[in-house]
Structure 1
């Protein structure tokens, strides 16, 4: 009896110790798992990276390496060596999204010529009668425009003594702005008053002379810019997840760069050569084929290796330099047009931004000079991103000039 009771107590003691061991083992397992996760999601040094993530040996630390997708997505709000690479182009994407919406809302509306019959009444009822006299004095210099003879007929009853046949090719709004400042009497030259009067006249007359040109080349450029910026930002955020995803993201990034360069040609080529359809088709077709060829070349596995960094930079730089031909051609055709010179200035500035960006990207400066000092902020790829956004915005400003030019003058 005592022996059986002793055996029973030993069995219970053994079971209790086994349960305690299992509980302890489970607790240790949970602690170990949390510790493993903590170690797993820590930032690592360059030498600890797998080969496919090694791209710039001058950035020594703060790398994410093969993190789970959830942690990779959340890392957009944490500090690592890709944080500014993500945000520089993410902010750029939203900038161009806003510019696209703004541009779409600012398309000028056509005002039918019959509304010109109300033009004398508008001037007569306006609150600047003195300006009306000066406007009449400027009317003989109105530009040659389609259907302008109808305007002449409307004005004959109001201005029988004015010779409306000797019109020059001046821009009507610029003419009024310049003429009014020169001819208005000195006792009415208050800057605020004149500015207000000129704006009123411009608002009255400019819509009557506008024929909105097609916007698709400009929106193609804006779409290419947004695709490039969003693809780049996504690539820098997700590429550390796995080798396969890195492969896909890098191809998307290269496709975005090629799309931005190709579509950047569309506004200057189309609006410069819209009256020369052969040249227009030739230039747009060439840059489109070059962009597609670059995208196909980027599909080769060797294209993304660090050894081909200079080749990638040279290829994209060459795509941009090919734009020199249509720009020079534009200057030859329109050397006497202020818009041609103004847009060329913007295009030279854009080329400078892109060229410096490609040079910084290829040379990996400044981190080459001080390895490890620019891991978080200031390294070459971040500078490259900023210069790309600056170049694209400069091109946007040039595009607005092209639109105003062709809206006013047509083909």
Structure 2
């Protein structure tokens, strides 16, 4: 293992993580073997690898154990599959990037861009369940929001795949691009609240849980992005977080927790829509639509 100062410039992303970096390994086999060794990327690799396995198992559990009450129809199955596939895709690409980044500069750039694609995919996947169930009674608006989401995802990928954005000193700008895509979600949320009202939402535990989970997930992602951009806590303890608890590792952990919270939230929304579809549709306040 080598010191930060011995890294090539394109790997010098966090000066507060001082030691225990892998040297360049121009061999795929060597990179894969390093998964099972302790170094600066070990936590980054395993947090998302374990998370990916967890969510594959959870998807199988949902499809087989809740086929009657939750995912009975093909479109409901598609919503859950889309969400979990987006999550697993992101986590798999992330683990692959952290595994292969020490191979060579060319391979590093390829996998970094794939990591960016994975982030865009998971953001898109997070929109789908809430839009699908939240706008169950308004298929036209649901289609509109889903279409805008896809267009924003394609645009984000186009911007983020530029060679300039892959450079270490563009960490903040990359975060801003992804945050902007995520911030679009505020619009359908406000629209939804204007149609149903907080009194109605908080009158039922399923709906209130769905909203609170959405708020909690957003808070977690903001905290994770802040830690990632500010390089906290290693900024205050240089060389002390080389293996564990550095910002990128904490960010990975927060992402996994956020996915679990999001799943709980939209599942509560789905259960409400399944059990009381007429009540849900009749409650829309048509006098004050936002759109």
Normalization by structure 2: what TM-score? 0.88
1:45 paired residue number = 3
SS in structure 1 of the partner of residue 176 of structure 2: helix
1:144-223 aligned within 5 A: 212-213=72-73, 214-215=75-76, 216-223=78-85
2:126 paired residue number = 264
Assess if the C-alpha contact under 8 Å between 2:231 and 2:246 holds in 1. yes
**In 2, distance between residues paired with 1:72 and 1:325?**
43
1:359 paired residue number = 226
- Please report how far the alpha carbon of residue 403 of structure 1 lies from its aligned counterpart in structure 2 after TM superposition: 2.2
Q: 2:107 is matched with which residue: 233, 245, 250? A: 245
1:31 paired residue number = none
1:300 paired residue number = 162
1:283 paired residue number = 145
Matched, 1:76 2:56: no
**5+ residue gaps in structure 1?**
1-42, 110-206
Assess if the C-alpha contact under 8 Å between 1:232 and 1:253 holds in 2. yes
Q: Deviations over 1:346-385 (max 9, x none)?
A: 0000001111001110100111112111111111000000
**In 1, distance between residues paired with 2:94 and 2:36?**
17
Aligned length in residues: 270
Q: Deviations over 1:105-148 (max 9, x none)?
A: 13343xxxxxxxxxxxxxxxxxxxxxxxxxxxxxxxxxxxxxxx
2:286 paired residue number = none
SS in structure 2 of the partner of residue 218 of structure 1: helix
- Please report how far the alpha carbon of residue 280 of structure 1 lies from its aligned counterpart in structure 2 after TM superposition: 0.5
Residues 211 and 231 of structure 1, relative CA distance in 2, 3 Å threshold = closer
Q: 2:249 is matched with which residue: 382, 385, 406? A: 382
**In 2, distance between residues paired with 1:274 and 1:85?**
38
Q: 1:396 is matched with which residue: 235, 258, 263? A: 263
SS in structure 1 of the partner of residue 53 of structure 2: helix
Assess if the C-alpha contact under 8 Å between 2:116 and 2:161 holds in 1. no
1:94 paired residue number = 53
- Please report how far the alpha carbon of residue 211 of structure 1 lies from its aligned counterpart in structure 2 after TM superposition: 9.5
- Larger relative CO (CA 8 A, sep 6+): 1 or 2? 2
Assess if the C-alpha contact under 8 Å between 2:117 and 2:157 holds in 1. yes
**5+ residue gaps in structure 2?**
279-291
Matched, 1:406 2:273: yes
1:373 paired residue number = 240
Assess if the C-alpha contact under 8 Å between 2:44 and 2:249 holds in 1. yes
Q: 1:63 is matched with which residue: 1, 11, 21? A: 21
Q: Which has the larger radius of gyration?
A: 1
Could you tell which deviates more after superposition, 289-298 or 232-241? Answer: 289-298
Normalization by structure 1: what TM-score? 0.63
**In 1, distance between residues paired with 2:71 and 2:165?**
47
**In 2, distance between residues paired with 1:329 and 1:383?**
33
Assess if the C-alpha contact under 8 Å between 1:330 and 1:340 holds in 2. no
1:18 paired residue number = none
Matched, 1:315 2:177: yes
RMSD: 1.7
- Please report how far the alpha carbon of residue 93 of structure 1 lies from its aligned counterpart in structure 2 after TM superposition: 0.4
2:284 paired residue number = none
**In 2, distance between residues paired with 1:71 and 1:83?**
14
